[in-house]
Amino acid sequence: MKTRMLYVGVVAVLAVTSFVLASAAGARTLAGDGATISGVAPAHAVAGQRVTIYGSNLNGMSTVTFGGVPARSVVVDPGGNWVRAVIPAGVPTGQVPITLSDGSIELSVNLQIGAGSVPAAANRPPSYTSAGAHVKVMVAPQISGFSPTMGHIGARVRITGAYLNGTQWLKFGGIRAQIMHASAHSIIALVPKHAHTGKIRVHTAGGTGVSTGVFRVLAPSAGV
């Protein structure tokens, strides 16, 4: 009798153990199991731009957030090798985490968000993409500083920053200035007539960049 009871008890334990193991196995089959991130491209982007997160076992990662702001456009590679998302409006500038989630686990990788924005990029599913196609991404110009910080009409001012190449216009306090020299990191411009104290703005195909500081236009010298 004792032997029979012991046998029944062992069978019951084995049954419970099998159920627990089966449940655990089922949990491990959730999308994203063993998922890893190997990188992100581009490493610097702005709102509206499309970025690709590369890795393995990423299929099922249907939720993507940038600095806590959810992306509305997300495309996942059926093979799990990448996830594409368009950076939503409202993402803070600076280094922010991109977080991927399948509802069970989360993975993160950092991305540098720049000032400005571009029109939201197309984000078609893999079956509609063209192999080898290249998209030219335009980034808004950034002004990091200028020197001198004040001057008379006609004075030369050097504006420094990033993505300044292809400058279409530059303004002092809303007045368009003559550009003497322009490169990706600096512009030399002349303070225009009728200019007044205000911020400096530079415009390229990527958008408009605005200085944080104010350029002070000095009054003409006496007798001029």
Residues 102-130 have pLDDT tens digits of 877 889 999 999 988 888 777 766 544 44
Look up the pTM and report it: 0.43
162 and 108 co-located in one domain: no
Residue 172, domain CATH? 2.60.40.10
Residue 50: which of 2, 26, 79, 83 has the closest Cα?
Answer: 83
CA dist 149 and 158 (Å) reads 9
Q: Please identify, among 128, 158, 175, the residue that sits at the C-terminal boundary of a domain.
A: 128
pLDDT, position 8: 43
Provide the residue range defining the domain that includes 78: 36-128
Question: Where is average pLDDT lowest: 127-136, 150-159, 184-193?
Answer: 127-136
Q: Please identify, among 75, 103, 128, the residue that sits at the C-terminal boundary of a domain.
A: 128
pLDDT, position 33: 57
154 and 204 co-located in one domain: yes
Residue 157: which of 182, 183, 190 has the closest Cα?
Answer: 190
Query: Does 133 reside within a domain?
Result: no
pLDDT, greater one: 82 or 60: 82
49 and 118 co-located in one domain: yes
Query: Does 224 reside within a domain?
Result: no
Query: Does 184 reside within a domain?
Result: yes
Q: What is the pLDDT of residues 64-86, one digit of tens each?
A: 999 999 998 888 888 888 899 99
Q: Please identify, among 69, 98, 128, the residue that sits at the C-terminal boundary of a domain.
A: 128
164 and 200 co-located in one domain: yes
Give the count of domains, the chain. Answer: 2
Residue 94 bridge partners (DSSP): 113
